[in-house]
């Protein structure tokens, strides 16, 4: 039996709480921040999804399962770009759902300027911004 239409799922409520904490950015604003050196873009999509959809040209690729360890400036497993809590991280996934949860988790780690890309890679594509690779049209 399905719940009444007025009852929101637990994950929808969780997503709402995460997004309430973020200053999400659209593709054009994200591209401008990245080009100006004001932000770093992190692509958390799995390798197979990146191969199929294409890639952001200047993103750090850090899959979701290790994100917090790589971006926490106090972690032994951090990337060189994780220089402090005030780095502007823009997290991206395919459609902007997983990235919202991931960015909220980065706030919990103490990365105060973390956010995510509204609409994810798909919105980036729709905005006509540059991408690398991806499977040709009609390829599964």
pLDDT digits (tens, 9 = 90+) for 40-95: 999 999 999 999 999 999 999 999 999 999 999 999 999 999 999 999 999 999 99
Mean local confidence (pLDDT), 9-29:
96
- In this structure, which topology does domain 24-126 adopt according to CATH? Oxidized Rhodanese; domain 1 (3.40.250)
pLDDT at 137: 55
pLDDT at 50: 96
Cβ pair 90, 60 in contact under 8 A: no
Q: What percent of the chain has pLDDT over 70?
A: 92
Q: What share of the chain is helix, strand, coil (3-state, %, to 5)?
A: 40, 10, 50
Q: Inform me whether the pLDDT recorded for 139 exceeds 60.
A: no
pLDDT at 7: 84
């Amino acid at each position: 039996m399905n719940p009444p239409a007025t009852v929101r799922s637990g994950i929808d409520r969780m997503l709402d709480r995460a997004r309430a904490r973020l200053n999400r950015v659209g593709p054009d604003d994200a591209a401008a921040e990245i080009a100006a050196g004001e932000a770093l873009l992190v692509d958390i999509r799995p390798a197979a999804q990146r191969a199929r959809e294409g890639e952001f040209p200047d993103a750090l690729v850090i899959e979701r399962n290790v994100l917090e360890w790589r971006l926490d400036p106090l972690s032994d497993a951090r990337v060189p770009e994780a220089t402090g809590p005030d780095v502007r991280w823009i997290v991206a996934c395919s459609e902007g759902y997983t990235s919202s949860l991931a960015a909220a988790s980065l706030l919990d780690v103490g990365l105060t300027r973390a956010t995510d890309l509204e609409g994810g890679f798909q919105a980036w594509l729709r905005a006509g911004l540059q991408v690398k690779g991806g499977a040709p049209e009609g390829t599964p």
